[in-house]
Amino acid sequence: MHVFSLRRSTLQPRLFQQACRLASTTTTRRIIARQRRIAAQQPTPLPRSRSAPQDEEEEAIRWFEQDVDTGATRRIAGNPEELEAAELRQKIAALEKELAEYQNEESDEDMLAALEPEDRAKVEKALRERKQHEADVTDGLNVSLDMPPLTVPLLKKFNTSLREAALHPNSVSKRKDLWRWYGRARYSIPALSSMIPTKAWQLLWDIQSVESPTNP
């Protein structure tokens, strides 16, 4: 019989306390030793790589495409809709760049030189009408200020964005560019607001107003 199972009445108080302490210490040592044996038998867990969650996330969705004729499937690197959208954005950007090149004077001259006299006269007339239209639309938009040289490029950007937004009123990107350059110019040029023409103010209002007929 263990010493701590004796009734307290058969021992003196001090001896009873010592017996309880001895039993408690012995039991605690046995428990610690048992836990150490169990821990030693368990395999040591391998440290997880920091990139594991990212790898698991990347492997969570796998995209495949199927050939219509053969029915064969193959795995692709990413979401086909995102890949197609990225390809379309690249094509649109290339077309916009090509269109901008065709709109400059050198491209116009090269194009006219390659035409027959009759066609050349028609194209020259169309070009004159286009230039006149651009002049009418952009007249009165330019902002001119006497300012430090460091702020001159910023004002040029703002004037260019005014012109582009006026020529392409339905272009969302032109609207965003104009508002962005207006914000930068207003922040860097304190006197800007007092020098903006009325027509330019109207354009700035139109690109932000939901009531404007050109605002999509």
144 and 200 belong to one structural domain: yes
> Domain total for the chain?
3
Q: Are residues 125 and 148 in the same domain?
A: no
- 121 with 170, same domain: the answer is no
Q: Which of 131, 149, 165 finishes a domain?
A: 131
Do residues 145 and 200 both lie within one domain? yes
Please give the pLDDT value at position 216.
61
Q: Are residues 124 and 158 in the same domain?
A: no
Buried b (16+ CB within 10 A) or exposed e, 161-171: bbbbbbeebeb
Q: Tell me, what's the pLDDT at 185?
A: 86
Q: Tell me if the pTM is above 0.85.
A: no
Specify the pLDDT at position 1.
Answer: 46
Residue 186: give the domain boundaries: 140-208
Structure tokens at 164: 């582009």
Residue 174: CB atoms within 10 A of its CB come to 19
Would residue 47 count as lying in a domain?
A: no
Does 163 lie in the same domain as 190?
yes
CA–CA gap between residue 166 and residue 203 (Å, rounded): 7
User: Does 110 fall in a domain?
Assistant: yes
Residuewise pLDDT in 10s, the chain (216 residues): 444 444 444 445 555 455 555 555 555 566 667 767 776 666 665 555 554 444 444 455 666 655 656 666 666 665 556 666 667 667 666 666 666 655 555 566 666 666 677 776 777 777 777 777 776 666 666 666 555 666 678 888 888 888 888 888 888 888 889 899 898 888 888 888 888 888 888 888 888 877 776 666
DSSP string, 131-146: HHHHHHHHTT------
Q: Are residues 147 and 188 located together in one domain of the fold?
A: yes
DSSP string, 63-81: EEEE-TTT--EEEESS-HH
Q: Is 145 part of any domain? A: yes
